[in-house]
Amino acid sequence: MALSFTNVVEKTPIGCQNEVFGVVDITLDDSYPDGGWAIAASDLDLESIHILSPQATSAGGTVLFFNVATSKLLAYEADGDAGALVACVSADDLNDGDVVRCFYMGTN
């Protein structure tokens, strides 16, 4: 299954050269690939993504981060008693259907 995207706040012009912002809910799948989920600008109906900031997730204990350089949504989990965050790997069960709300800015 692939990630799915649901607009919460439609793209809104910022006022400078096709820049827009919006809010999207991303429904995660259970097939987390090593290195993160790829997110293309076209997934958000954009030409380019400048910022994608995960705000909240229903995935208990999982922290998400978007790497703009690689266009990957990365998942980290607490490492037991140590409390350090470690990158998830493809074998980790991230529960199909968890939703993360993200603020984004990009070029339309």
* Token code pair at residue 20: 């827009």
Answer yes or no: is pLDDT of 71 > 90: yes
Summarize pLDDT for 15-65 with one digit per residue, the tens: 778 899 999 999 988 788 888 999 999 999 999 999 999 986 655 667 889
Q: What pLDDT, on the 0 to 100 scale, is given for residue 87?
A: 80
pLDDT at 98 (0 to 100): 82
23 close to 104: Cβ distance less than 8 angstroms = yes
Residue 94: per-residue pLDDT: 65
Q: What is the pLDDT of residue 102?
A: 95
Q: What's the whole-number average pLDDT of the chain? A: 84
* Domain CATH number, residue 70: 2.60.40
State pTM to two decimals.
Answer: 0.84
Structural domain for 10, as ranges: 4-107
Of residues 63, 89, 57, the one with CA closest to residue 76: 63
| Domains in the chain, number | 1
25, with CB counted inside 10 A (0-12, 13-18, 19+), is middle
Residue 32's nearest CA partner among 61, 60, 62 is: 62
From 5-9, 10-14, 58-62, 64-68, the region with the lowest mean pLDDT? 58-62
Residue 84 confidence (pLDDT): 77
